[in-house]
Every structure is written in structure tokens, then in C-alpha cells.
Amino acid sequence: MTFFPFCEQCGKALESAIHVVRDCDFVPVNVEIKINVDGSVSVSNTKAAIGGVVRDSNGNWLTSFAMITRVSDVFQIETQSVVEGLKLAWSKGFTQVEVNCDNAMLIDTIRNGFASISNIAKVQLIHEWCTKDWKVKFRYVLGKNNKVADCLAKATIEKLNQLVPLTDPQQYITRLMLIIHCRRRPLSPYIPSF
């Protein structure tokens, strides 16, 4: 355990002895797919972007997405990235999903049951998606462990408010994934967050 408020191993909120022994995600996780999502707000123009990557239980690339949207606050942009990731996973027929996001406030809101009573429509929409017939788990990840989703969110996609699915990783994403994979020491058979 450290003095850092989040577990440095898995990124979950408030590391405690119980968390280390029982809840840490460094134990194998039973998920069909893992989605890393991120949002990005440009200070130079009136656009924001979201992006995400979908991987299987072995960490293999399945698909990714990116979308340009109108500027809003960072919380709402991150919320939209989660919604779009859930929509994509549902449309592909996945039944066990883990969503990773580097916005601690959003993940805390969802995991503590406040999404259903939120006054933010997109947060309520996340709750609605979670009530469908599937298992959805949310996990906070550190920004440094979410680089691929961050890179996708910052990729230039010209279609405003239209999700652009990317079936193959672009060359710069492939290089980034390789660099991250080579630096990572395998600690357990979990799915690494990029």
C-alpha cells in the first residue's frame, strides 16, 4: 500500500488492506472484452473528441472508435466516450464488458450508484445501458495506462457527432501498443490496460 489515493497496480479508488487482499484487479478477470475510453478537449478550437479501443480477453485488438463532438466540459466528454463504448460493445453482441476510463469522478459516480440519479443526461444514459441483459464492470485507470484511447481521442476525424469505427489499428497506434507492451512486466494473467 502507498500514500497515493488510488491503487497503483489497478487504479481503483482508495487502496486499503481489503482491496489489496480481495479486490485488486491483478487477479484474473472474467470479461469477454475490455474497452478503454478517453475524451480530449482542444483549447484552440470549438471541438472535442472521444476515442476508445476494444480488446478481447487476451488483449488483442478487436476494434476502436473516434468521434469529434462539440466542446463541453471534460466530465461530459469523458461520459460521452463511455456511452459510445457501451453502444459499440452492445451492437457487437458482447455480454461481459469491462470499461476503463481515466476520469476518477465519473467512475466513482457510476460505481457508487449515483448514475441513476444524476442530473447529467449522459450519466443517466450510462445507467440505462448497464440495465440491459449483460454484465458491465467499470474501472478507473491512470492516464499513463490509457495511452491508446487517449491517442485515438486526439486523432483527427473530420465527421462531427458521427462515430467512426476503426477496424484495424493505425500504424502509429500499433507502434504505441508495441512500445507499451515491451515496457510492461507481466505480473499476472490480467488484461493489460493501454
DSSP one-letter code for 103:
-
Render pLDDT for 48-100 as a digit per residue (tens, 0 to 9): 888 888 888 877 878 888 888 877 788 998 999 999 999 999 998 999 999 99
Specify whether 4 is located in the same domain as 53: no
Query: For residue 190, is it within any domain?
Result: no
Query: For residue 38, is it within any domain?
Result: yes
Query: For residue 77, is it within any domain?
Result: yes
Say what the pLDDT of residue 106 is.
Answer: 94
Say what the pLDDT of residue 1 is.
Answer: 41
Within the chain, strands assigned E span 33-41, 47-56, 61-70, 96-101, 135-140, 164-166
Render pLDDT for 94-137 as a digit per residue (tens, 0 to 9): 999 999 998 999 999 999 888 888 888 899 999 999 999 999 99
Instruction: Output the pTM of the full model.
Output: 0.68
Q: How far apart are CA 121 and CA 117, in angstroms?
A: 10
Residue type present at position 135: K
Contact 194, 145 (CB under 8 A): yes
User: Nearest to residue 83, comparing CAs of 121, 34, 140, 45?
Assistant: 121
Q: Is 183 helix (H, G, I), strand (E, B) or coil?
A: helix
**CATH number for 132:** 3.30.420.10
Residue type present at position 127: H
Query: For residue 131, is it within any domain?
Result: yes
Is the pLDDT at 161 greater than 70, yes or no? no
Specify whether 21 is located in the same domain as 35: no
Task: For the sheet with 47-56, list strands across it.
Answer: 135-140, 96-101, 33-41, 47-56, 61-70, 164-166
Of 25-29, 126-130, 171-175, highest mean pLDDT: 126-130
Total domains present in the chain: 2
Query: For residue 169, is it within any domain?
Result: yes
Say what the pLDDT of residue 137 is.
Answer: 92
Query: For residue 194, is it within any domain?
Result: no
Number of Cβ atoms within 10 Å of the Cβ of 112: 9
Average pLDDT over residues 180-191: 44
Specify whether 82 is located in the same domain as 94: yes
Specify whether 20 is located in the same domain as 63: no
Which residues constitute the domain of residue 4?
A: 1-29
